[in-house]
Amino acid sequence: MTGLSFTGAALAWAAASWAQGRLLRDVGRHHLVRAGAVVLAVAGLFAIAGSYPETPAFTAAAALILAGGGMGMLVPCLTVLSLSHSPAHWQGYASSAMQTMQNLGQVTVMGLAAAVFAIGSDSGTGSGSGSTRAGLLFG
C-alpha cells in the first residue's frame, strides 16, 4: 500500500503541476494557490481520519495522493507569483530564499513530527496509540 500511495502522490503532483501550467493558464495564480491550499486541507483531514484504527488503510493512502495533487498545484504557482513580484535584479535572491525556506520548513516539520511520535512510542510504557499521536500532532 505504501509504494502505491507514494507513486500515486508523485503522479498526482506531476499531473496537477502540468495542469496548472498548461490547462489552467488563464486562471489567476492566486486562485490556484487557494485551490491547492483547500486540497491540502482536505488531505490533512483524510490523514487525521486515516490515523484511527477503525478506518481502512486506503484513507491514509488517499490523503497522500490528495496532498500530492494539492502541492502540485500550489508550489509552482507560489514560485511564479514570487518571481513575478520580484524586480529582475532580485529574482535570484527570491528564488534562493524560497528554496531555503522550503527546506527549513520541511526539516522543522519532520523534526516536530518525529518528536511527537517518539513521545507516544513504546518507550517503556507502551501507552501511545496511532490516534493519540495524530491528535498530538494535529491539534
Tens digit of each residue's pLDDT (9 = 90 or more) over 40-57: 999 999 999 988 888 888
Count, residues in the chain = 139
Give residue 111's identity as a one-letter amino acid code: G
- DSSP alpha helix (H) spans, the chain: 2-22, 29-50, 57-84, 91-119, 130-138
| Positions in the chain whose pLDDT score sits under 70 | 121-139
Q: Which residue has the cell 490516534?
A: 131
3-state secondary structure of 133: helix
Res 52: pLDDT: 86
Whether 6 contacts 64, CB under 8 Å: yes
Res 57: pLDDT: 83
Whether 98 contacts 43, CB under 8 Å: no
pTM above the 0.75 mark?
A: no
Res 41: pLDDT: 95
